[in-house]
Amino acid sequence: MQSEIPANSPLVPEPMQLTPNMGIPDDRHPLIAFCENNEVFMNETNVHFEKLMLDFSQLELDTKQRTTHLNYR
């Protein structure tokens, strides 16, 4: 795991530009754009969290299986 951020790393996008479309101008009202982009961000966050929970559940099962296996030895 890196402890330093490389100097050439891209900047963090502004909240209004979470999912920018380079060729299409954003003519939405700034408040609507902010709300819609936040909804997209929340959906992506939920998907990521669900994947983490599945990974954690699998890790928990693996740990229980290893513990059971070690107890039989």
Where do the DSSP E strands lie in 20-71?
none
Is the distance from CB of 16 to CB of 32 less than 8 angstroms?
no
pLDDT at residue 20, rounded to an integer: 57
**Is residue 28 scored above 50 in pLDDT?**
yes
pLDDT at residue 25, rounded to an integer: 72
Stronger pLDDT, 30 or 5, i.e. the higher one: 30
pLDDT at residue 1, rounded to an integer: 46
Average pLDDT over residues 30-51: 91
